[in-house]
Amino acid sequence: MSVARLALRQAAFHGRASLRNPPVVFFGLLLPVLFLVIFATVFGNETLESRGGIKTSTYYVPGLIALGIVSTTFVNLAIGLTIERENRQLKRIRGTPLPIPAFIAGRVATALALATALTIVLLAVGRVGYGVSLPGSTIPGVALSLLVGTGAFCCLGFAFATAIPNEDAAPPLVNAVVLPLYFISGLFFPTDGAPAWLTTLADVFPIKHLAEALFEAFDPATTGAGVAWADLGIVAAWGAAGFAVAVATFRWTPKGE
Amino acid sequence: MTQPAVTATGLRKSYGNREAVAGVDLEVRTGELLAFLGPNGAGKTTTVEILEGYRSRSAGEVSVLGVDPARATRAWRARIGIVLQSSRPNAFLTVRETVAEWADFYPAPRPVDETIARVGLTEDATQRVGKLSGGQQRRLDVALALVGDPELLFLDEPTTGFDPSARRQAWGLIAALRELGKTVLLTTHYMDEAQELADRVAIIRAGRIVAEGAPGELGRRDARSVIRFRLPAGVAAADLPIPMSVRDGVALAAFERPLEPLHAVTAWALEHGHDLGELEVERPTLEDVYLELTESQDAGAEAIE
């Protein structure tokens, strides 16, 4: 079986398992939709002067798509890989002829499928529930952000798993990283008027840039395809760093073995 | 003669200045089941993980199916099957899905349903892995090792933590692997398991092989039978016709050939009208041999040939 076909079959099995995994379904897939419904319902009709007077719901949809991408890639992989490493699933897989590229591609393909499905659901909820429309001309911007974001945050997920000591520590450590970043990156409420040190701090990390890249596509002021090259470049650079760390430190056996 | 499935010569593995494996010579012949016995911490798992390609070695020569596991290739991995001491597959897939997923990894897998039937999980094929009992999970482990149709199987302590009836069932399963013509390297710390299943046994202690041979031969070597009986009232140890020690009123002595001393004792007892209460002649069991080899400090060294 070719590596590509093996990867797809892996993604099918792993995707099926993910959809039966309650924490993955709730935190990874349902919660971002719930966030959109809550925030857009409560704050959606306010106007956002810092973003040219758009409705707040238009601001929330791209931000929560970014959150959805991070949760279906980085969060799921960092936690999932740690659990699989500690209960020796990875070790067993390493003892089979499954090529490593097929294993990795399978996990990335699962993440991409979940992230894409969640993005489509969030777009639909935004459109049907809150009248947030995406200009057809900027679909390339959303698609590219989805691809770059998925790739980069998958790399970061593989890298971060290597820093997690055991399976019990995985969810709290991952949340300790992403939750503060969600807040300072303006996913839950706009941070345009926040103190400079806070926005500068958020600018260092990739989540805000992914959200901004997606916002570019939703911003009525945008002309053209809605691709925010600078933001996506920073996301990709983080992904490349994550890739390098993952290659150097990824382990197939439990820590301490 | 076919080449042995596994050969290791002078195998060593050090961690810092601790030598976990201190010069192991081991051979697993094609088609046999070798039980690799030893207490925890004796170097069993380290040795086996070197053979499986998981760990590097510090010194020595190793060949597994003609390949150095330190340079494992995909083709080589397709010819071996591994059951780790403890590993849990994805809890959210069913038994059949899991076996089908693993079948994908191999160039010439066995049929999925046949493999599931072989380990006795047909009725649980649609059950989620997370809902299986410990014994059923172990069967699934074996199915995953078997589905690639490997020539050589590594089973690392497959029955540890099992209740007696689950162990019996697992033994039946392992014995059935032999009928498929598989070579099996079984790691265990139960002597009775080795005795039940193995063609040959190798015992490791403190990183060295201290005994090797067929289960029957191992028991026979150094086999010193013990004669014991309750010392009759009014008799002192010095009155006995053969030298025996007395402990808590029981006389005992060990002999390589117990027939003559036994005859001397019974003749003496008949002559003096003594009833030898609780008279026993006991041959050491494999368990005794194993305990002696692995527990006492000096016995191991004596047994090295």
pLDDT band at B304 (very low <50, low <70, confident <90, very high): very low
Report in angstroms the alpha-carbon separations of A170 from A27, A90, A238, B93: 14, 16, 21, 22
pLDDT averaged over chain B?
87
Residue B296 has pLDDT above 60, yes or no: no
**How many CB atoms lie under 10 A from the CB of residue B162?**
17
Number of Cβ pairs < 8 A linking chain A and chain B: 69
Cβ–Cβ under 8 Å, residues A51 and A59: yes
Per CB-CB distance under 8 Å, the chain A contacts of B86 are 87-88
Q: At B161, is the pLDDT very low, low, confident or very high (cuts 50, 70, 90)?
A: confident
Nearest C-alpha neighbor of A51 from the set A211, A224, A230, A184:
A211
User: Do B35 and B22 touch, CB atoms closer than 8 A?
Assistant: no
Report the Cα–Cα distance between both ends of chain A, in Å, rounded: 32
Separation CA B123–CA A188 (nearest Å): 49
Using the Cβ of B291 and the Cβ atoms of chain A, whether some distance falls under 8 Å is answered with: no
**8 A C-beta contact, residue A181 and residue A256:** no
- Contact yes or no for A96 and B77 at CB 8 A: yes
d(CA B104, CA B123): 22
* Longest CA pairwise span in chain B (Å): 78
pLDDT tens column, B233-273: 888 888 888 888 888 888 888 888 888 999 999 999 999 88
Inspect the interface and report whether the beta carbons of A97 and B54 lie closer than 8 Å. no
pLDDT at B297 over 60: no
Q: Is the pLDDT of residue B293 over 90?
A: no
Instruction: Please tell me which residue of chain A has the smallest CA distance to B92.
Output: A17
Interface test mutation site (partner A, options B104, B137, B146, B155, max chain A beta carbons within 10 A)? B104
Q: Give the gap in angstroms from C-alpha A35 to the nearest C-alpha of chain B.
A: 27
- Residue B219 is predicted with a pLDDT of 62
Could you tell me the pTM of the whole model? Answer: 0.86
pLDDT for B299 equals 38
Q: With a CB-CB cutoff of 8 Å, which residues 133-162 of chain B face chain A? A: 144, 148
CB contact under 8 A, A99 and B74: yes
Q: What is the pLDDT tens value at each position of chain A, 257 positions in all?
A: 789 999 999 999 999 999 999 999 999 999 999 999 999 999 888 899 889 889 999 999 999 999 999 999 999 999 999 999 999 999 999 999 999 999 999 999 999 999 999 999 999 999 999 999 898 899 999 999 999 999 999 999 999 999 999 999 999 999 999 999 999 999 999 998 899 999 999 999 999 999 999 999 999 888 888 899 999 999 999 999 999 999 999 999 999 88
Nearest Cα of chain A lies from the Cα of B83 at a distance, in angstroms, of 8
Contact assignment for B107 to A99 by CB distance below 8 Å: no
B145: closest CA of chain A, how far (Å): 9
Query: B89, A17: Cβ pair inside 8 Å?
Result: no
CB contact under 8 A, B77 and A97: yes
User: CA nearest B187: which of B203, B166, B171?
Assistant: B203
The SS3 of residue A125 is: helix
Provide the residue type at B252 as one letter: L
DSSP designation for A50: G
Confidence band (pLDDT; 50, 70, 90) for B291? confident
Could you tell me the pLDDT band of residue B295, with boundaries at 50, 70 and 90?
Answer: low
The residue whose two tokens read 């890249």 is A213
pLDDT of residue B165: 83
Assess B53–A contact: CB distance below 8 Å, yes or no.
yes
A-chain residues within 8 Å CB-CB of B100? 13
Cβ separation B87–A89 shorter than 8 A = yes
Inter-chain residue contact A10 with B144, CB threshold 8 Å: no
The ipTM of this complex is: 0.91
Q: Identify the pLDDT of residue B303.
A: 36
User: How far does B82 lie from chain A, in Å, by closest CA?
Assistant: 7
Residue A251 at interface with chain B, using a CB cutoff of 8 Å: no
pLDDT tens sequence across B163-192: 888 888 889 889 988 888 899 999 988 888
Q: Which amino acid is at B142?
A: V
Q: Which residues contact A45 (CB under 8 A, 6 or more apart)?
A: A55, A56, A57
Closest CB to A95 among B52, B93, B97 = B52
* Share above pLDDT 70 across residues of chain B, in percent, rounded to a whole number: 94
CB A145, CB A103: distance < 8 Å: no
Q: Among all chains, which residue has been given the structure tokens 């009232």?
A: B233
Cβ B176 vs Cβ B168: under 8 Å: no
CA distance B301 to chain A (A): 30
Q: Are B92 and A20 inside 8 Å of each other by CB?
A: yes
Subunit contact A91:B107, Cβ cutoff 8 A: no
Q: Determine the length of chain B.
A: 305
Looking at CA atoms only, how far is residue A73 from chain B in angstroms? Answer: 18
SS3 A176: helix
Q: pLDDT tens for residues B92-130?
A: 999 999 999 999 999 999 999 999 998 899 999 999 999
Kindly calculate the radius of gyration of chain B based on its CA atoms and give it in whole angstroms: 24
pLDDT in tens, B15-47: 988 899 999 999 999 999 999 998 888 899 999
Per-residue pLDDT for B283 more than 90? no
Paired residues of A138 in beta bridges: none
Q: Does B88 touch chain A (CB under 8 A)?
A: yes
Q: What is the pLDDT of residue B1?
A: 56
Residues 6+ apart with CB under 8 A from A42: none
Rounded to whole angstroms, the Cα distance separating B26 from B30 reads 13
> Residue A256's pLDDT is what?
81
